[in-house]
Amino acid sequence: MKFLPLVENEVLKLWKRRRFRLVLAILIALIGIIVFAQVEGRRRFHTKDWRIDTQEQVARMRNWLRQSRLPDTQRRWVQFEIARLQYHLDRNINPEDTSGPLFSRGFASASSYLLLPLLAIVFAADIVSSEFSEGTVKLLLTRPIGRRRVLASKLVALLLAVGLTVLVGGIVAYLFGGLAYGYRGWGAPFLTGFRMTPAEALDSSAVRAVPLWQDALLSFGLAWFAAAAVAVIGFMTSVLLRSTAASMGTMFAALILGTILPRLASTWEFQKYLFVTNLPLPDYATGTPPPIPGMTVPFSVAVLAVWAAGALAVSFEVFARRDVLA
Amino acid sequence: MGEPVLAAEHLTKRFGDRTAVSDVSFEVPAGEVFGFLGPNGAGKTTTIRMLVGLARPDRGRVRIRGLDVAKEFSRAMAHVGCIVESPDLYPYLTGRENLLHFARMLPDGAAARIPGLASLVALGERLDDKVSTYSLGMRQRLGIAQALLGAPDVLILDEPANGLDPAGIREIRRLVRSLAEERGISVFVSSHLLSEVEQMCDRVAIIHRGKTLSTGPVAELLSRAASGHRVVARPGERALDVLERVFPGRVEREGPETFLVAAGGADIPAAVRALVEAGVEVAAVERRASTLEDVFLEITGGETV
């Protein structure tokens, strides 16, 4: 039996349910607001000379370190930022020289730990459970097609939707960012490879410049991978809980846990094996400090892959075996 | 009878300690409308879930055209169209989009049947409206159109008359009869209404507390149920005296002036004459159709539903 018509069905349902249009609207609105806020902020607080701005920023952050009692992760990040800015100052490179492409690349790392996974969950949470709550699962699973095949078609549709969301996010960020900062600059050099030494100093020995498009591609790839892993785990909760609200609630709680844990309990090292802690991986691909020291991109990719594989195994086994009593 | 198209063999399903369905067996030959009659909660829907592979029987098996549903699910289901519990379709799609959706899950050619089926179930001009705007009767008919998309040999309908008005019930009945008689489709219909089964089915199985009590032609089943008449007459006391005299031990007082008489139509004229001669005004005499409860009382020997 052919498989593509099943995927076509699932994509059609995603689209007709207006989920997809809602997610695209959210993306466009959010990115629009961010660009607007950034442009406004720059106009107010920035002088004409980027060196003065950057020096002021470094001074401000040094003050933070002296005065306030920052949590460990934030302290590490501020130290890193100071060192990174100083590195740029020393070499006379404007760290905030922005462009549409640069904004788009920034969107990938800023959205991979919360926004994109959240949107992925909007799709994943009800792609299975809605069939139960609407009772249509009784028809879907009494057609001459095996249950695993039906579930696989839903999985493919979900991954397509997540991929399209990341793609549209990147394009919209580029278009809006370009409107504010200009559309050129994909080939501009981008500094990557900053590292923290164990003594928490900046290790710039591995810093190198790559063309921006190369780093942007990596960032979006990692952001897609993170969102897809979350989607697959949300897919499992949708299968297990058979309720859209319960599945969304569980997944949102997990995501929020992922943003809180590294801040409030940074010494609990085991959290690096939780999928939520590994989501900001495009961020530390360039060298910013990871949530827990010692986490690397390959490590996070592996952790997410193991979680996703486990979620898939559970989803398919449970879905294929369980009695449908909806 | 030939090879049965649909056969249930010793189906048993337990939920925890409760046995929902216990050792249910039946066979439905080609072209027969088979009624599955029982009160709500008797195990009808659980049985249907096992017939179509939604639930796994703890014991027993289902065969469709000889194919074991548990072992050859896809091949067996190619012969089945069904509505389980209620005609749930996607409310945010139109009728046509729903049919196209399910046609994509069938071998090529199913989509070509859509126009014919739409006119068969009289959905023609509403086919491109969203299902969320449909009445329950229209959903029921769209559900049947969906079930027929794959040109099945067996049609399984769970309480098809639920929530329909009398005209809608009549339409469904006519449709089911013509599918069986003209196309030779076997139809399995569950219901908790005796009158519905009586008018639609050739043969019937009665299920009660998960067990089949009796299987046979509808007429045979009905003859086992007590029939009677309701008499409304005043003054009540004198009417009771007269009725007790004509039908000793067969009168039950339902209200001040209402009586239930366990007697057939042949005895009624004499009783009316006796009432009138005694100066009793007879306001109404009506035949009381035998109800499912009556049949149960008869079969179970007094155990109530």
Q: Pick the more confident residue, A79 or A275.
A: A275
Contact A142 B84 (CB under 8 A): yes
Hey, what are A17's tokens? Answer: 């349910």
Give the end of a domain, one of B170, B191, B223. Answer: B223
As a whole number of angstroms, the distance between CA B171 and CA B63 comes to 30
Examine residue B12 and state whether it is found in any structural domain, yes or no: yes
pLDDT of residue B255: 87
Looking at the structure, do residues B54 and B147 belong to the same domain, yes or no? yes
* Whether the predicted pLDDT of B302 surpasses 70: no
Residue B267: give the domain boundaries.
228-288
pLDDT of residue B292: 65
Nearest of B105, B146, B90, B111 to residue A3 by alpha carbon: B105
Looking at the structure, do residues B126 and B250 belong to the same domain, yes or no? no
Contact A324 B93 (CB under 8 A): no
Contact A142 B86 (CB under 8 A): no
Examine residue B1 and state whether it is found in any structural domain, yes or no: no
Measured N-to-C along each axis, helices A115-127 and A100-111 cross at an angle, to the nearest 10 degrees, of 60
Looking at the structure, do residues B43 and B176 belong to the same domain, yes or no? yes
Looking at the structure, do residues B103 and B73 belong to the same domain, yes or no? yes
Contact B86 A135 (CB under 8 A): yes
Measured N-to-C along each axis, helices A147-181 and A212-241 cross at an angle, to the nearest 10 degrees, of 140
Number of helical (H) and strand (E) elements in chain A, helices listed first: 13, 4
* Whether the predicted pLDDT of B87 surpasses 50: yes
- In a mutational test of the B interface, the residue from A142, A154, A242 whose CB has the highest number of chain B CBs within 10 Å is A142
Examine residue B84 and state whether it is found in any structural domain, yes or no: yes
- Provide the 3-class DSSP secondary structure of residue A196: strand
Q: What is the pLDDT of residues B8-41, one digit of tens each?
A: 999 999 999 999 999 999 999 999 999 999 888 8
Peptide bond just before B235 cis, omega within 30 deg: yes
Provide the 8-state DSSP code for A119.
H
Q: What is the pLDDT of residues A211-240, one digit of tens each?
A: 888 889 999 999 999 999 999 999 999 999
CB nearest to A142's CB, from B53, B86, B104:
B53
* Whether the predicted pLDDT of A156 surpasses 90: yes
Examine residue B303 and state whether it is found in any structural domain, yes or no: no
Looking at the structure, do residues B117 and B259 belong to the same domain, yes or no? no
Chain B residues touching A136 at Cβ < 8 A? 88-90
Examine residue B189 and state whether it is found in any structural domain, yes or no: yes
As a whole number of angstroms, the distance between CA B14 and CA B19 comes to 4
At residue A193, φ and ψ (nearest 5 deg) are 100, 15
Hey, what are B4's tokens? Answer: 């049965």
pLDDT of residue B300: 66
Examine residue B302 and state whether it is found in any structural domain, yes or no: no
Please give the ipTM for the structure prediction.
Answer: 0.84
Contact A143 B77 (CB under 8 A): yes
**Smallest CA–CA distance from A13 into chain B, residue:** B93
Looking at the structure, do residues B167 and B69 belong to the same domain, yes or no? yes
Provide the 8-state DSSP code for A191.
E
- In a mutational test of the A interface, the residue from B58, B101, B162 whose CB has the highest number of chain A CBs within 10 Å is B101
Q: What is the pLDDT of residues A192-210, one digit of tens each?
A: 877 777 666 677 777 888 8
As a whole number of angstroms, the distance between CA A44 and CA A38 comes to 10
At residue B214, φ and ψ (nearest 5 deg) are -160, 140
Q: What is the pLDDT of residues B179-205, one digit of tens each?
A: 999 999 999 999 988 888 888 999 999
Looking at the structure, do residues B219 and B232 belong to the same domain, yes or no? no
Q: How confident is the model at residue A43 (pLDDT cuts 50, 70, 90)?
A: confident
**Smallest CA–CA distance from A146 into chain B, residue:** B74
Q: Residues of chain B with pLDDT > 70: what percent?
A: 92
pLDDT of residue B132: 95
Q: Residues of chain A with pLDDT > 70: what percent?
A: 97
* CATH assignment of the domain containing B240: 3.30.70
At residue B262, φ and ψ (nearest 5 deg) are -85, 75
- In a mutational test of the A interface, the residue from B88, B108, B148, B157 whose CB has the highest number of chain A CBs within 10 Å is B88
* Whether the predicted pLDDT of A272 surpasses 70: yes
Measured N-to-C along each axis, helices B268-277 and B236-246 cross at an angle, to the nearest 10 degrees, of 140
Examine residue B31 and state whether it is found in any structural domain, yes or no: yes
Q: Pick the more confident residue, A303 or A46.
A: A303
Q: For A60-64, A93-97, A110-114, A183-187, which range has the lowest pLDDT when averaged over its residues?
A: A93-97
Contact B90 A13 (CB under 8 A): yes
Hey, what are A262's tokens? Answer: 């590294």
Q: Please, which residues have CB within 8 angstroms of residue A43's CB and are 6 or more apart in sequence?
A: none
Number of domains into which chain B is organized: 2
What's the mean per-residue pLDDT of chain A?
Answer: 88
* CATH assignment of the domain containing B95: 3.40.50.300
Contact B104 A144 (CB under 8 A): no
Looking at the structure, do residues B145 and B282 belong to the same domain, yes or no? no
CB nearest to A139's CB, from B56, B91, B146:
B146
Looking at the structure, do residues B235 and B157 belong to the same domain, yes or no? no
pLDDT of residue B305: 47
Looking at the structure, do residues B256 and B211 belong to the same domain, yes or no? no
Provide the 8-state DSSP code for A204.
-
Q: Where are the domains of chain A?
A: 4-45+98-321
Looking at the structure, do residues B196 and B279 belong to the same domain, yes or no? no
Q: What is the DSSP string of chain B?
A: --S-SEEEEEEEEEETTEEEEEEEEEEE-TT-EEEEE--TTSSHHHHHHHHTTSS--SEEEEEETTEETTTSHHHHHTTEEEE-SS----TTSBHHHHHHHHHTTS-TTSGGGHHHHHHHTT-GGGTTSBGGG--HHHHHHHHHHHHHTT--SEEEEESTTTT--HHHHHHHHHHHHHHHHHH--EEEEEES-HHHHHHH-SEEEEEETTEEEEEEEHHHHHHTS--EEEEEEESHHHHHHHHHHHSTT-EEEEETTEEEE---GGGHHHHHHHHHHTT-EEEEEEEEPPPHHHHHHHHHTS---
Looking at the structure, do residues B45 and B171 belong to the same domain, yes or no? yes
User: Are residues A279 and A222 in contact, defined by beta-carbon separation less than 8 angstroms?
Assistant: no
Examine residue B205 and state whether it is found in any structural domain, yes or no: yes
